[in-house]
Amino acid sequence: MDIKKVNELAPPRTHRKRVGCGLGSGHGKTSTRGHKGQKARTGGAKPAEYFEGGTMPHFRRLPKRGFSNYPHKTTYEPINLSSLKVFDANTVVTREMLVEAHIVRTNLPVKILGGGEIDRALTVHVAAFSETARAKIEKAGGKVEVTK
């Protein structure tokens, strides 16, 4: 007999409620939605802020204030300096080479951060660098070039 340990116990399986499968299921006919009304309809669920008893809703009563730069925000894919160790010395490292080496996985512009050390001279062409990354690359004898 196989003895179960407490950390190996799995929670009991629960099945989703199968509605509309006949009267015998207990969830037939109205499919647990009751009779008529807004909540019985498709898309009838409305958030609580819509029900304020005829008062002007809270989200319409308050003014819109401030400024958001979100649509114009630049988001980078961060890469640590230690990730560049896969390239040989005196290599020109571009975004395409980083994609081929599976270091970059998104379509975002790349920013090199200063995490780790680099011991070889590389010429790096990416969208942005941190100050520490720029200093470490130049200290190792490499070059830094910002591309668009």
Tell me the pLDDT tens digit for each residue of 2-35.
888 999 899 888 888 889 999 888 899 999 999 9
Residue 1 has pLDDT above 70, yes or no: no
Backbone φ, ψ for residue 134 (5° rounding):
-60, -45
At 74 the pLDDT is 92
SS3 16: coil
Please name which of 103, 47, 44 lies closest in space to residue 79, comparing C-alpha atoms.
Answer: 103
pTM of the entire predicted model: 0.57
At 4 the pLDDT is 86
Mean pLDDT over each residue of the chain, to the nearest integer: 91
What percent of the chain stands above pLDDT 70?
99
Q: What structural domains does the chain harbor?
A: 17-63 (no CATH), 74-146 (3.100.10.10)
State the Cα–Cα distance between residues 20 and 51, nearest whole angstrom: 29
